[in-house]
């Protein structure tokens, strides 16, 4: 087994978004020796508030900028002597990719390419000032594998790519670029493909915050199609621990799937959330449950995603720690304490 990578100066792209901000807070809290530079374009999905205490941490620098800006990214690698990249920045909402795919191609493909080029240049063997141990970790999604039927086995690292939306196609393209930079140039990369995350700081447009926001406002809770679509849900802290572990101990060039073995139908999630929210607010659950409405389905809506995270468990010892019920309770409590995160920005 190769020696683990020891991150020193970490560039986190998209660190003001949902998972990125949870990761920045996790990393600063769990490793006293790292320095973190967050690069975020502060699109509608990025918020300073998401960073919480990390925003004022002396070991953290927040830079507002675009990952597609090659000059900026190169300067940042040199100035901050970056030895580790954890790449979260992306356009991430499937519905937006259907109405406006161009931004997805630009950020997810061109942005990833720009980062890879900057990393390759800065870390080229023998380059002046290049750090000795370097790592490029790419954060991706299970959606690149397409859709499963009800009885199909879960996705594994061997599942062929079959993306169905402009979002998943642009993420699949970025995964291929990352893979190619390892194969062609020897760049030490790792990739994780994770299932649906939930938890604090998720943007109000996503499913779980939408259910909470709609219930609290007393307006219809939209659930796509028949509500029977299935997703595999993972609490965001468990994802952050997986990314941290793979960034340090993952085999260069390898892909690891991350998921909670926690499949639920969307309609069941909406109902469960109504109950958890009712418990937290003291409102009778029926008041929330009667707001649920089935609405016109998303075009090309994938039926089911499921992850077999066996490789990550066998090789690196990762396990999810949060149960779904306790994770949902924590999430609901967090949104009730942080209602600013339920405002829908455009």
Catalytic (active-site) positions: 142-143, 167
- Min separation Cβ 336 and ligand NAD, Å: 20
CB 171, min distance to ligand NAD, A: 5
Cα angle 129, 132, 137 (rounded to 5 degrees) comes to 105
Using the minimum distance from each CB to ligand NAD, give the nearer residue, 210 or 291. 210
Per CB under 6 A, residues contacting ligand NAD are 13-14, 16-20, 39-43, 45-46, 66-68, 88-92, 107, 111, 139, 141, 171, 194, 196-197, 203
DSSP string, 129-190: T--SS-EEEEEEEGGGG----TTSPPB-TTSPP---SHHHHHHHHHHHHHHHHHHHH---EE
Contact 164, 141 (CB under 8 A): no
Written as six digits, the tokens of 291 are 């707001």
Cβ 285 to ligand NAD shortest distance, Å: 26
Residue number with CB closer to ligand NAD (122 or 139): 139
Task: Answer whether 214's CB lies under 8 Å from 222's CB.
Answer: yes
- Give the residue nearest to ligand NAD (CB): 17
The Cα 4–Cα 29 span in angstroms is 20
Cβ within 8 Å of residue 118, ≥6 positions away:
70, 73, 74, 76, 77
Q: How far is the CB of 276 from ligand NAD (least distance, A)?
A: 19
Q: Which is nearer to ligand NAD, 19 or 187 (CB)?
A: 19
Which of 40/308 has CB closer to ligand NAD? Answer: 40
CA distance 293 to 86: 38
């Amino acid at each position: 087994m190769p020696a683990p990578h020891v991150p020193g100066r970490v560039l986190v792209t998209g660190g003001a978004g949902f998972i990125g901000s949870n990761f920045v807070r996790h990393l600063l809290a769990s490793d006293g020796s790292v320095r973190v530079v967050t690069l975020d374009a502060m699109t509608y999905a990025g918020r300073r508030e998401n960073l919480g205490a990390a925003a004022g941490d002396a070991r953290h620098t927040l830079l507002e900028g675009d990952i597609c800006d090659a000059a900026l990214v190169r300067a940042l690698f040199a100035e901050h002597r970056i030895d580790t990249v954890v790449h979260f920045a992306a356009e991430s909402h499937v519905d937006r990719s259907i109405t406006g795919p161009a931004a997805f191609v630009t950020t997810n493909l061109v942005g990833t390419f720009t980062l890879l080029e900057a990393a390759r240049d800065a870390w080229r063997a023998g380059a002046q000032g290049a750090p000795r141990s370097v790592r490029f970790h790419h954060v991706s999604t299970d959606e690149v594998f397409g859709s499963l039927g009800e009885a199909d086995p879960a996705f594994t690292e061997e599942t062929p790519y079959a993306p169905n939306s402009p979002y998943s196609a642009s993420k699949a393209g970025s995964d291929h670029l990352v893979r190619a930079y390892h194969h062609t140039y020897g760049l030490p990369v790792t990739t994780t493909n994770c299932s649906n995350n939930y938890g604090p700081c998720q943007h109000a447009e996503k499913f779980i915050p939408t259910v909470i926001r709609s219930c609290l406002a007393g307006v219809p809770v939209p659930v796509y199609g028949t509500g029977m679509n299935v997703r595999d849900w993972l609490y965001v802290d468990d994802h952050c621990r997986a990314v941290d572990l793979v960034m340090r101990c993952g085999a260069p060039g390898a892909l690891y799937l991350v998921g909670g073995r926690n499949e639920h139908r969307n309609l069941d999630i909406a109902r469960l959330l109504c109950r958890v929210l009712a418990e937290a607010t003291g409102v009778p659950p029926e008041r929330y449950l009667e707001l649920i409405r089935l609405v016109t389905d998303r075009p090309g809506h994938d039926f089911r995603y499921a992850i077999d995270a066996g490789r990550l468990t066998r090789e690196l010892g990762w396990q999810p720690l949060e149960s779904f019920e306790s994770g949902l309770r924590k999430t609901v409590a967090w949104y009730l304490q942080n209602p600013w995160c339920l405002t829908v920005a455009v």
